[in-house]
Structure formats: C-alpha cells, structure tokens
C-alpha cells in the first residue's frame, strides 16, 4: 500500500511582544531574542536564548518555543520534554498539545499522539483547528492499525482503523480496513470499505481499492465481479502485477 504521507498543521509561533508584567523582564528579553532567532532559522542561538530565559522564569511559553526549536533540529525526545513541561505548567495551553501530538507522531509514538491531539481538539475554540485535530487523530490511529496488521493482529487493526474513520474520512484508513477485512474473511465489510476508499480517494493509488474489492469478491465466490475489479486494478502500476497474478489464477 502506498506510504502514508503526513503533513501536520504548522506549529504556531507565539510571536507577540511581551509586556513587562507578563514575564520576568530578564526572561522576557531572552524570550523575545529567542523568537527572533527561531524565525530566522538560527536554531542553536534560539535554544541558547530560551535556556537563558528559563533561568529567570519557568514560563510555559518559553518551554513551548524551546520545543519548537528542538523539533526543527530533529531532536524529538528533547522537544517532547519541553512541550510536556509547557502543558504541565499550563494544562489549558491548546497549542502545546498540538505540538506534542505532532512530535509524538514523527517519533513513532502513535498512541501518545492520539491522546495529545484529542486534548488539543477538546481545548481549541477554533473549528478549523478542531477539524485538523480530528484528521491528525485519524492519521495516528491509521498508523496504529497498520502496525497491528503487520503483527498479524487483524482484530486490533480493525478496531484502530474504525476509530480512524470515525474521526476523518481517510482513504488510507478505508483501504487498510478493506485489506484487514479480507484477511479476516469479512468480505462484505471489505467491499464496503474499499468503496469508501474509492469515494474519498485523495492519496491512495487508483487501483488499490479495486484490487482488494477483487480479493473480497473472489472470497465470496463471485468470480465475475472479482475479475471486473482486478481488471480495474491493472491500470495501476503499483497493483498491476498482483492483479495479473489473481486473474491468471482464475483462467
């Protein structure tokens, strides 16, 4: 199956000038300095400024910005620690959970990613961000489902993937569901999921869902419809050989 490409909603830079009463003046000076370095891509300098700011104030915003710098440096574990400190200090800080969700995802901690994005969805007041959170929750559940499939645990995979499509109509998740249902010999469910993958197709290759529909119809003993779908899959270079193999078996 085509590799899932993830594009997360960009982490938002807390790009505002601090008033003296909002933060210790010394910390505020280094914080603003760090923000300027971060915007210009001077990541080591930004990190140094945020570290200096933290010497004067244990402010959640400093930890958040520090996490952004570390993430851009691909130091994901350290970034997670900074984002975690940010939301520990301010449990209502929605952007901190969004940043945590994205960093956990990149680091492969998909279960933690789900929980962080759920918290972000709960806290944010903006509908477009709630919608994006649900999409990202779906993507993390899809990764969990695919991992379960690789382990041969198809029941668990189906559970995860159904959670994925509850949150967002993901063509990846519907396609993965179809494959899992075929493995479980739940052919009607496999066909339904494949049809949904076709209806919501954005990223999957055009023949993928037809190939799994073909397998499902073959499992049901309907060889005419199986051949129809395998022939549809022939036009997809990713699934062409597999479809040809299945068609040759039915000659």
What pLDDT is attached to residue 23? 82
Fold agreement (22-90, 169-251): yes
Query: What is the torsional sign of CA 106, 109, 110, 112?
Result: negative
Does domain 22-90 sit in CATH 3.40.190.10?
no
Share of the chain above pLDDT 90, in %: 89
pLDDT band at residue 251, thresholds of 50, 70 and 90?
A: confident
Please give the radius of gyration of the chain, using alpha carbons only, rounded to the nearest integer.
23
- pTM for the structure as a whole: 0.89
Residues 6+ apart with CB under 8 A from 63: 54, 82, 83, 85, 86, 89
Residues 6+ apart with CB under 8 A from 76: 70, 103, 106, 107
The answer to whether residue 13 scores a pLDDT higher than 60 is: no
Find, among 190, 171, 170, the residue nearest to 180 by Cα. Answer: 190
Query: What is the torsional sign of CA 139, 141, 143, 149?
Result: negative
Name which of 20-29, 139-148, 162-171, 212-221 the model is least confident about: 20-29
pLDDT tens per residue, range 201-233: 999 999 999 999 999 999 999 999 999 999 999
Please state at what angle helix 171-183 crosses helix 127-150, rounded to 10 degrees.
30
Does domain 92-168 sit in CATH 1.25.40?
yes
Domain boundaries of the chain, sorted by first residue: 22-90, 92-168, 169-251
What pLDDT is attached to residue 5? 38
**CATH number listed for the domain at residues 169-251:** 1.25.40.10
């Amino acid at each position: 199956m085509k590799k899932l490409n993830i594009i997360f909603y960009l982490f938002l830079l807390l790009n505002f000038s601090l008033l003296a009463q909002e933060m210790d003046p010394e910390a505020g000076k280094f914080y603003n300095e760090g923000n300027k370095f971060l915007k210009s891509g001077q990541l080591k300098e930004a990190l140094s400024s945020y570290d200096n700011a933290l010497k004067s104030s244990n402010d959640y915003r400093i930890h958040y910005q520090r996490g952004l710098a570390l993430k851009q440096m691909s130091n994901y574990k350290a970034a997670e620690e900074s984002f975690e400190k940010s939301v520990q200090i301010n449990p209502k800080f929605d952007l901190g959970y969004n940043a945590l969700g994205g960093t956990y995802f990149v680091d492969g901690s998909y279960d933690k990613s789900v929980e962080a994005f759920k918290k972000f969805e709960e806290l944010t007041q903006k509908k477009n961000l709630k919608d994006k959170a649900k999409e990202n929750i779906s993507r993390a559940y899809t990764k969990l489902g695919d991992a379960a499939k690789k382990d041969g645990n198809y029941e668990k995979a189906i559970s995860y993937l159904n959670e994925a499509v509850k949150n967002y109509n993901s063509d990846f998740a519907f396609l993965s569901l179809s494959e899992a249902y075929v493995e479980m010999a739940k052919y009607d469910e496999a066909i339904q999921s494949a049809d949904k993958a076709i209806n919501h197709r954005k990223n999957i290759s055009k023949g993928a869902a037809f190939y799994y529909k073909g397998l499902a119809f073959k499992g049901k003993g309907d060889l005419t419809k199986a051949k129809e779908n395998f022939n549809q899959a022939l036009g997809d270079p990713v699934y062409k050989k597999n479809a040809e193999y299945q068609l040759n078996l039915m000659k």
